[in-house]
């Protein structure tokens, strides 16, 4: 059964059980281990949504991957490059197999990407489908997966402490983060964008934000952008992006800066808010792993190669049609991988 809920009242009703103490959810060989964060209610997209342009999403072309010189420094252009795919079992993959389960850091409160269906308690979304595909490749059919809900600013610490094997959580790849963790090739492209009430005078990421309370998740690329160029706004940070939507609904924030894909998902939850202006950055999402787990990076890239393959019938396109097309129409395929070796 699908439960659809709009607006503040239903969203807060879903969040209430989380605030009072989250439990452990087990279903179909998967377990959710709660951490800080909340849940998102399901909803249909509201009318008049303005999705971010699909033009920033460079379509996947089989065999088009290019390798950069091994000594090339990380730049904004090369940040999404990763190691070439391999199906060989190295130390990290063997560790996962010996343990008998894959531990994945995910979101449980981002609609359409990683969230719990309030009717079933099951995790669903584009990122969840990808995490299950990785687990199946390593561990076989119906693999045991432990999903750990990880706040935005705890993604890198969780990887460095090895409390998770990987993070699949709309995580933007950039040079600063690549100094601390390793990333797969890009599996989605987005950009930072402004979300605000339909009636707001805010028009884009510009001086219309002056004097406004602008919310973003701590540790996100949205926070980095706002700290560098706030446009006169007062910056508010929260553990998770859904907390920004709640603040917006309660009148405790005037606008939100987040990834365009996440902003579109939040606009789908509440018809009183909309995307403003255009994305003002170009960013790639990657699967994040510990820097020492190079064999796992190559294995994930092998899974991503399979996941992208098959054109309109590929697993990537099936997941896109299921979770994202309603709010992000016009994307013809996944981004092409770029390799550093």
- Distance from chain centroid for Cα 106: 8
Confirm whether 91-191+283-324 and 193-276 share one CATH topology. Answer: yes
CA 161 to CA 211: how far, in whole Å? 39
Q: What is the pLDDT of residue 10?
A: 39
- Measured CA to CA, the distance from residue 261 to residue 321 in angstroms comes to 14
Q: Compute the 3-state secondary structure of the chain and give helix, strand, coil in percent, each to the nearest 5.
A: 30, 20, 50
The per-residue DSSP string of 44-99 comes to PPPTT--PPPGGGSPBP-TT---BPPTTPPP-TTTTT-BPPP-----HHHHHHHHH
Please give the Cα distance from 226 to 13 (Å, whole number): 31
List the alpha helices (DSSP H) in the chain.
Answer: 7-19, 91-99, 126-139, 155-160, 175-178, 221-228, 241-250, 260-269, 294-308, 315-323
Q: How far is CA 161 from CA 23, 157, 173, 310, in A?
A: 23, 6, 19, 37
267 in Cβ contact with 195 (< 8 Å)? yes
The answer to whether 217 touches 196, Cβ cutoff 8 Å, is: no
Residues of the chain with pLDDT under 50: 1-29, 36-56, 63-64, 66-70
Give the per-residue pLDDT at 31.
56
Cα–Cα distance, 144 to 137 (Å, whole number): 12
Q: Are 327 and 112 in contact (CB under 8 A)?
A: yes
- The domain spans of the chain are 91-191+283-324, 193-276
Between CA 32 and CA 40 the distance in angstroms is 15
Close Cβ partners of 175 (under 8 Å, ≥ 6 residues apart)? 74, 75, 76, 79
Q: Note the CATH number of domain 91-191+283-324.
A: 3.40.190.10
Contact indicator for 259, 33 with CB cutoff of 8 Å: no
169 token code pair: 């959580």
Q: Are 285 and 171 in contact (CB under 8 A)?
A: yes
Instruction: Name the fold adopted by 193-276.
Output: D-Maltodextrin-Binding Protein; domain 2 (3.40.190)
pLDDT digits (tens, 9 = 90+) for 232-266: 999 999 998 889 999 999 999 999 999 999 899 88
The predicted pLDDT at position 278 comes to 93
pLDDT the model gives residue 128:
98
């Amino acid at each position: 059964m699908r439960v659809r809920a709009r607006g503040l009242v239903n969203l807060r009703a879903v969040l209430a059980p989380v605030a009072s103490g989250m439990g452990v959810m087990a279903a179909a060989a998967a377990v959710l281990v709660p951490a800080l964060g909340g849940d998102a209610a399901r909803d249909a997209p509201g009318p008049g949504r303005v999705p971010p342009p699909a033009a920033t999403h460079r379509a996947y072309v089989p065999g088009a991957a290019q390798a950069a010189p091994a000594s090339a420094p990380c730049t904004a252009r090369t940040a999404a490059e990763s190691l070439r795919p391999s199906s060989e079992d190295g130390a990290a993959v063997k560790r996962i197999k010996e343990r008998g389960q894959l531990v994945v850091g995910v979101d449980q409160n981002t609609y359409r990407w990683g969230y719990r269906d309030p009717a079933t308690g099951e995790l669903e979304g584009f990122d969840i489908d990808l995490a299950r595909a990785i687990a199946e490749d390593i561990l076989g059919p119906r693999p045991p997966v432990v999903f750990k809900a990880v706040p935005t600013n705890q993604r890198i610490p969780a990887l460095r402490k090895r409390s998770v094997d990987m993070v699949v959580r709309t995580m933007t790849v950039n040079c600063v983060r690549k100094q601390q963790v390793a990333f797969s090739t890009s599996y989605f492209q987005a950009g930072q964008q402004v979300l605000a009430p339909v009636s707001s005078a805010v028009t884009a990421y510009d001086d219309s934000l002056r004097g406004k309370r602008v919310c973003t998740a701590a540790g996100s690329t949205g926070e980095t952008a706002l700290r560098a160029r706030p446009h006169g706004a007062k910056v508010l940070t929260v553990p998770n992006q859904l907390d920004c939507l709640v603040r917006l609904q309660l009148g405790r924030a005037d606008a939100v800066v987040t990834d365009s894909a996440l902003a579109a998902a939040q606009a789908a939850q509440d018809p009183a808010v909309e995307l403003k202006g255009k994305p003002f950055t170009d960013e790639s999402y990657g699967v994040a792993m510990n820097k020492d787990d190079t064999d796992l990076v190559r294995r994930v890239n092998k899974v991503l190669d399979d996941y992208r393959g098959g054109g309109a019938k590929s697993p990537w396109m099936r997941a896109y049609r299921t979770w994202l097309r309603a709010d992000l129409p016009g994307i013809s395929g996944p981004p092409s991988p770029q390799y550093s070796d």
